[in-house]
Chains A and B, each alone.
Chain A
């Protein structure tokens, strides 16, 4: 079936414009005092170096911040810059001081420009966000593609690590796809979903809160330690649960809310909102990631048609943490109407509504998500340990439990904490998830060959195609880019040419592939795009 954009007239399905953002944990064990912003910029620059080798003159692309509006609240107001937490000002490029640059081993700031941002040929963005390297995937139209281009980000991170490790004078950098240092700090793995502006935000929040509180049983990554600062020993389902304090809010770094209200659509604002989901764990397991994205998109589809259950929780933040703290999945949480339900009961309500809405038939991927969702709920009810091939937290817990049995150790044992951390190590030789995958003990949804392709090629069915191909075909002339713009500098024009890409489902291969094929130069391309008959294909 053809991918569809968000609308409230089509069938209930998993298809919509979506994307992921991953902030990787980062250390250089050989440089314990290294500045994390500096290390993160090493990652960006190392990846740029691998690209230059392969593609000639590829330069770092400046991010175009013109349309960023991180302080616009979906509830209808704008936060004053002065009263915002400094970390909320994501529309200002990070600045490295000369001192920080000087900390880079072997880097001579005189002859090397330090890149903080790259827009990749696959339409993704690799950049320094706060104190972490972040990969933001290109826009895709379905959860399986989201898994693929998210995995491509892990491959990009690995290539950067290998490059740094192989560069004389540089200390190896390790990247982890996790969400906490277990000492009080958390960093995000966000999802983005395009939703019609016509859906009232209050409806979204009400139906999504109980869903987000309970979906961790399917897609939590597991964590050793209880409490934001690891106050107590133990194991819990989610990496993120203990870092959330509010139900709804604009913040992403402090007083984190279950529903984030940042209203920065990166698209035609009158038509769309971008639902920015900050509560998820970073997944290594592809089935966990697929269901995280697929079930959420399905639930949004139900909300858009007023078909979604709203099992209002009495205390959502407590429920989030209570569910996370009970890997047996037996504990109950209280609904506003007084009923006591488990996380699986909640998930069953949403699954039941989606299954009913699709009873008349669904496209293949929607049916696949529905089937897997229903089956995993049953498996988790019977014995959560049977879901180790599909769910990160279960796979992690199974290993930890085996260690506890073999070595007779408690949850405060340091090796257990190390297993937790190394589960997320992105190096195939060191990462425990990757060792499980090599042993055939986890289910894979995408092949290594597909991932290699997704590292180099954009999705063909969104504006990411336009972005990726502009970067790939005109590396010298594209001087800036963002989600909804590409900036060209061509010799014949005094001014920069800014091409807006505000419709996520335009700029596709179908609309623009010929234009790219037939344009010999950037100048030619721009002329055709901006004044020629192809004008209508511009995103």
Chain B
């Protein structure tokens, strides 16, 4: 997780080194980051369980009429 944080913010930090630091909105950004991380994590998990070849699988899900 820590690596992901670094990746996400690293580039901007370097660019911004010479400019006055923006006031850090610590609590908000911390929870935002946690939320983003949670979503990334969830999508990674779902990526892992999705049937392979989405197009073919979805096309193959054909039902006969029901009530």
Contacts and interface: CB of A to CB of B under 8 A. Distances in A.
B46 interface: yes
Interface residues of B, number: 21
B67 interface: yes
A81 interface: no
A32 interface: yes
Contact of B64 (A130, A190, A415, A432): A130
A175 to B, nearest CB: 12
B64 to A, nearest CB: 3
A421 B67 contact: no
Interface string B12-49: 00000000000000000000000000011011011001
Interface of A: 23, 25-27, 29, 32, 36-37, 87, 129-132, 176, 180-183, 185-188, 190, 252-253, 278, 399, 402-403, 406, 414-415, 417-419, 421-422, 429-430, 432, 435-436, 439, 441
A95 to B, nearest CB: 16
Nearest to A405: B39
B60 A29 contact: yes
Given A181-B63, A188-B67, A419-B50, 7 more contacts: A27-B62, A32-B60, A185-B64, A186-B66, A187-B67, A422-B51, A432-B46
A418 B65 contact: no
A322 to B, nearest CB: 24
A29 B49 CA distance: 16
A414 B54 contact: yes
Contacts of A187: 63, 65-67
18 contacts: A23-B67, A29-B51, A87-B67, A130-B67, A131-B63, A132-B66, A176-B61, A180-B63, A185-B62, A185-B66, A186-B65, A187-B63, A187-B66, A278-B67, A419-B50, A421-B61, A439-B45, A441-B42
A252 B67 contact: yes
B46 A87 contact: no
If over half of A's interface residues share one DSSP class (helix, strand or loop), that class is named, otherwise mixed; here it is: mixed
Contacts of B65: 87, 130-131, 185-187, 253
A183 B62 contact: yes
Given A29-B57, A402-B39, A414-B55, A419 B63 contact: no
Contacts of A182: 58, 61
A418 to B, nearest CB: 4
A441 B42 CA distance: 10
A278 B67 CA distance: 8
Interface of B: 39-40, 42-43, 45-46, 49-51, 54-55, 57-58, 60-67
Nearest to A429: B49
B63 A36 contact: yes
A253 B54 contact: no
Contacts of A432: 46, 49
B50 A422 contact: yes
Contacts of B42: 399, 402, 435-436, 439, 441
Contact of B46 (A26, A176, A181, A435): A435
Contacts of A435: 42, 45-46, 49
A239 B51 CA distance: 21
A441 B61 CA distance: 28
A131 B64 CA distance: 6
Contacts of A422: 49-51
A418 B50 contact: yes
A27 B60 contact: yes
Across the A-B interface, give the 6 residue pairs with the lowest CB-CB distance, nearest first.
A187-B66, A131-B64, A188-B67, A181-B63, A414-B54, A414-B55
B49 A417 contact: no
Nearest to A415: B54
Contacts of A402: 39, 42-43
A418 B39 CA distance: 18
A190 B67 contact: yes
Contacts of A406: 40, 43
B49 to A, nearest CB: 5
Q: Which of B50, B54, B65 has the most CB of A within 10 A?
A: B65
B7 to A, nearest CB: 14
Contacts of A32: 60
A415 B54 CA distance: 5
A413 B56 CA distance: 12
Nearest to B45: A435
Nearest to A427: B49
Contact of B66 (A29, A129, A399): A129
